[in-house]
Amino acid sequence: MNPEKDFAPLTPNIVRALNDKLYEKRKVAALEIEKLVREFVAQNNTVQIKHVIQTLSQEFALSQHPHSRKGGLIGLAACSIALGKDSGLYLKELIEPVLTCFNDADSRLRYYACEALYNIVKVARGAVLPHFNVLFDGLTPSSPVGCLHCRTVLSPQGPLPTAQSQRLGKRETGFWS
């Protein structure tokens, strides 16, 4: 992260807080981003909204520094909250960097990505449906598909019989059998 770089319309205080290792400082920055984006929505300033989202995506969420990535994720979620019903217009830009973070080696960062995605989808509601395939593909590798139980339940032939179901003379029909 280049401290000399101009991140306008994000203030230097917001940028510094987004890069901070403390969650509370990143959260304060997210609240400031939310206020800023709400102002842009009220002014119908789509250029600035796109610029904020692009900056949070490229310079923060996709950064090499873990604290910057966490700051970018919480910032993108704050943008979505501020956009409200208009978040559907920017879903592709909001979702892609979050899904990229699902593949991060740091489990805490993956958790923040999950939380950010939840907040984005919660606000977008039905507008997220056209992006369902991308979301599903992004979420699937982070699921425990490697475990034997998940593989058997998800197999095209259906779940394999378990020892208990064989003793009872029935075939298991799913997780809740």
Q: Mean pLDDT of all residues in the chain?
A: 83
Predicted confidence (pLDDT) at residue 163 exceeds the cutoff of 70: no
d(CA 66, CA 148): 32
What average pLDDT does this structure show over 62-83?
96
Structure tokens, 71: 């700051």
Lowest mean pLDDT among 27-31, 121-125, 153-157: 153-157
pLDDT at 146 > cutoff 50: no
Q: Contact at 8 Å (CB) between 18 and 29?
A: yes
- What gap in Å lies between CA 127 and CA 108, rounded to an integer? 28
Residue 83 has pLDDT above 60, yes or no: yes
The CA angle 37-139-52, to the nearest 5 degrees, is 15
Domains and CATH numbers, the chain: 12-143 (1.25.10), 144-177 (no CATH)
Is residue 88 predicted with pLDDT exceeding 60? Answer: yes
Q: What's the pLDDT at 135? A: 80
